[in-house]
Chains A and B, each alone.
Chain A
Amino acid sequence: MIARVLGIMATFLMASVATADSIKLAVTTSFENSGLSSVLLPAIQEDLGLEVQLLVVGTGQALRLGEAGDVDAILVHSRAAEEQFVAEGSGTHRREIMYNDFVFIGPDDDPAGIASAESAVDALQRIETTKPAFVSRGDDSGTHKKEVGLWQEARLEPESFEAWYRKVGAGMGASLNTAAGLEAYILADRASWLNFGNKAGLGLLFAGDPVLFNQYAFLPVSPEKHPHVRNDLAVQLEEWLVSDRSAELINSYQIEGETLFTFNADPE
């Protein structure tokens, strides 16, 4: 009996796979939740023979992974944090790839009336006046940083808000689930929202203010700081991401007839 059990287990132990060239890329949840990754990754595999292993985390954690040298490159959206990342010597440079936009999601009956707001700041001020439930990512992600930045522009301090302002400390999808459960307002990126399956009672209420644009950038981790990182592969990947083929795939990616991302890399 023991021999048989061991035999079965040995089979499992040996089942580990060796892969060809692969690169570890930390990306934000929106990149994966939007479904864009499942369009780009197979194309990259096809063109470069390169397997991209995605670590789907918030921008804050992605930057930490890059700093520690646990990934070869990162693709995130939080300009100030990215510039600091490069300034500290963790990344070689920052290359803008594409943008999408943030949208305000809330209950369909819109108690705060943000659908008629004039700007993103106005929408937040209306929410602060009526104090309906508002879900904040609270996880130091790019979306969270954006939200906090918007509150500051509206001259409001989220830390002083009462119980209607809920920091859930979770990813975009989990936060949207919470908002659906609480019938709360939330700031989300358009891609995650369109791909989200549990829309129960929520709707897109406000979008289009230019301050809501969301720039994604690619940052290779510095091989000087971390000699083991595959900078050669990161450079290959970057060249592919700014290529015409990438542009075409990104610009033509749609969900429910809506374009999600706009390619804006500068192909030097």
Chain B
Amino acid sequence: MSDIVEGLTAAFWLVISLDPELLEISLRSLQVTLTSLVIASAIALPFGTFLAIRRFRYRRLTISVLNALMGLPPVVVGLIVYILLSRSGPFGVLGLLFTPTAMVIAQVIIITPLIASITHQAMRELWAEYHDLLISLNTSQWQRIKTLIWDGRRNLLTASLAGFGRGIGEVGAIMIVGGNIDNATRVLTTAIALETGKGDFALALALGFVLIALAISVNIAIHSLSRTEREGRW
């Protein structure tokens, strides 16, 4: 128990003193995860919606695979990205291994299926509602996707935030492809793993609390920016 109290106290002082190192790794955590989130959402939202409205031959299989990929083990993703980006791998010439870009690539792979799958679930319901209207208006495929995405934006926000949650707390993949290099690729989760390794549980916990606080603030910020929880709107 005393470890938890010490952790909370340490977290409090780290935040109050605006510890420059803490600030740096927190910003890097946000930078990596938000960048991955933007890229993953740009792929997953239209793709999930497309799966909901279009009937094609291997649709069921695609959906099953997508749902299964939600559970992709980050360590395996990390290892595969690592092998691909390694100097002796096929994309080695790009020199991306152990950079934030490599971490973004790994995270995009991890969170895209999650966002796409939740999007698909939400859009299926909405499509059932909009089906007749959109068909009778003789809309094009792309117009339908756009309409559904816009009208289902609150559900999609949930999908994206789920992706954010998975990304910001992820450690297995970014540890492998980022290498946890001080001042270059160290983020909150890998720093927590490092401090736990050193047996410094108070600092590790403090960083953990900062991570949780960060995740909550981002969620609140996005909700208030997009005005989803205002009176009379739901």
Binding site for B on A (CB under 8 A): 1, 4-5, 9, 12-13, 15-16, 19, 22, 24, 29, 33, 51, 53-56, 67-70, 171-174, 176-177, 180, 195-199, 226, 228
Contact = CB atoms under 8 A, between A and B. Distances in A.
A33 B198 contact: yes
B206 interface: no
A68 B87 contact: yes
A9 B198 CA distance: 34
A176 B199 contact: yes
10 tightest Cβ-Cβ pairs between the two chains A and B: A173-B197, A198-B199, A69-B87, A197-B199, A68-B88, A197-B200, A12-B31, A55-B179, A196-B199, A53-B181
B220 to A, nearest CB: 14
Contacts of B4: none
A24 B98 contact: yes
Nearest to B228: A1
Interface in B81-139: 86-89, 92, 95, 97-98, 100
B226 A5 contact: yes
B88 A5 contact: no
B196 A12 contact: no
A70 B35 contact: no
Given A1-B227, A15-B27, A174 B181 contact: no
Contact of B98 (A55, A69, A195, A199): A55
Contacts of A4: 225
Nearest to B204: A197
B98 A177 contact: no
B35 A198 contact: no
Contacts of B35: 9, 12-13
A244 B97 CA distance: 34
A156 to B, nearest CB: 29
Interface string B176-218: 0001111110000000001011111100000000000000000
A1 B226 contact: yes
A196 B198 contact: yes
B87 A174 contact: no
Nearest to B85: A70
A33 B197 contact: yes
B30 A177 contact: no
Tell me what chain A mostly uses at the interface: helix, strand, loop, or mixed: mixed
A53 B197 contact: no
A29 B198 CA distance: 10
Contacts of A55: 98, 179-181
Interface residues of B, number: 32
Contacts of B92: 69
A69 B85 CA distance: 11
A203 to B, nearest CB: 15
A85 to B, nearest CB: 15
Given A9-B34, A33-B197, 7 more contacts: A1-B227, A5-B226, A12-B30, A12-B35, A51-B183, A53-B183, A70-B88
A173 B198 contact: yes
A89 to B, nearest CB: 14
A226 to B, nearest CB: 6
B38 interface: yes
A226 B87 contact: yes
A51 B184 CA distance: 11
A173 B196 contact: yes
Contacts of B30: 12
Nearest to A71: B98
Given A4-B225, A33-B198, A198-B199, A69 B88 contact: yes
A12 B89 CA distance: 29
Contacts of A199: 199
B222 interface: yes
Interface string B1-44: 00000000000000000000000000100110011001000000
A171 B126 CA distance: 50
22 contacts: A1-B227, A12-B30, A12-B34, A13-B35, A13-B38, A15-B27, A19-B184, A24-B181, A29-B197, A33-B198, A53-B183, A54-B181, A54-B182, A55-B179, A55-B181, A56-B180, A69-B92, A70-B86, A70-B88, A173-B199, A177-B199, A197-B199
A199 B198 CA distance: 11
